Structures are given as structure tokens and as C-alpha cells.
Amino acid sequence: MARKQRIWFPGAKYHITCRGNRKASLFEEQTDRLKYFQILEHARLAFPFRLHVYCLMTNHVHLSIETFDHPPGEIMKVINSNYARYFNDKYEYTGHVFQGRYNAELLDSIDYEIDVSKYIHLNPVKARMVAKPADYLWSSYHAYISYQKNPYVHPDYILSLFQKPSREAYQRYVENEDPTLPPDLLKQLPQ
């Protein structure tokens, strides 16, 4: 049976997830996550894209990306195949590192983009790894709520959708228990 063709067009944005095979760990040590970022940057040079949000969990990865001239399949092939080669070589494993094909959901509305950013940043909290999203070191959340520079992520677009001061508004949105969009935190967007 043929795989379902993914929708792609220049400027398309996606929520991408990749899970370790049989839910196994993708990252055994800090150096593995650093290597993942190095591979991600290599892929960005080969197939330019913008990373809006990320979270590297223990056994899976969340990326929110915006494509330019290449579909996500080309980008993820470089990232996943190079990381799998690194991981298997380092730990002397054989076989699949990732569980099947990566998942890519098209982010087809601004509300969905904002919702996905919150979902990604809250992933370590929901997994009970940390009490607050700011406590997790391997996500883009710090780049959103502080002025710390993060070379991998571009938070400006999503932050531009929030009322000023946008970093504080975004933090209140993510850390709010109410799952609905707080309208007082969001900019009024043209219809």
C-alpha cells in the first residue's frame, strides 16, 4: 500500500514528532541532545527552514518548523538518518532508532500554531518531568520568556501574535490552567 502523500507548499508550517523505536530513549546523555542540535543545524544549511518551537524529550522529539523551498520529508530524512547513524555508532546498536516515519501535522491556522507551541512547551510538565515548563532545559521555552539568545529557535513570529509585553503574555498563556485562548493576551489580528 502506498504512503499517503503529505501536503506541502513553500511557507508551510508543521508540528513534527519523531519517537524512539518501541518508545526507547533517543537521548542517553546531554551530549546526544547537543549532537541532535548539530545535526539539525546541518539540515538547516542543506534545506533551509525556520524552527519556531522545539522540545527534546527522552524518547521523542517535537519540532514546529516553517519550510521554505523543501518539503519536511527532505529535512527530516537528513536529521533522522544522521542522528540514527550517530546513535547506533556511539552505543554500538544496530537497527532502527526511530519508530517508523516521522509525523507531520500541517499547522493551517494561527490559532493552531499558538496551541501547538503551548502543547510542545508543556510536554515535559505533562510527562511529570518538571513542575514548570521553564524548569526543562531541552525546549525552546526559555527563548520565549526571557531575552536569552538561542541559536536554534526563532520565537519572534509567535511572540508577535501576543499583546505587549509579549514574553510575559506568552508565559501567562502557556502556564495558565485554562485551555482556551485568553483573548486579552492575543493581538487583534486582521480577519
Helix (H) or strand (E) segment spanning residue 120: helix 110-126
Specify whether the CB–CB gap between 99 and 8 falls below 8 A: no
In this prediction the pTM is: 0.92
At 81-102, the pLDDT tens digits run: 999 999 999 999 999 999 988 9
Specify whether the CB–CB gap between 144 and 154 falls below 8 A: no
The identity of residue 4, as a single letter, is K
Q: In 3D, which of 148, 157, 139 has the Cα closest to residue 58?
A: 139
Specify whether the CB–CB gap between 44 and 11 falls below 8 A: no
At 110-141, the pLDDT tens digits run: 999 999 999 999 999 999 999 999 999 999 99
Residue with cell 496551541: 115
Tell me the Cα Rg of the chain: 17
Helix (H) or strand (E) segment spanning residue 106: strand 103-106
Domains of the chain, earliest start first: 13-175 (3.30.70.1290)
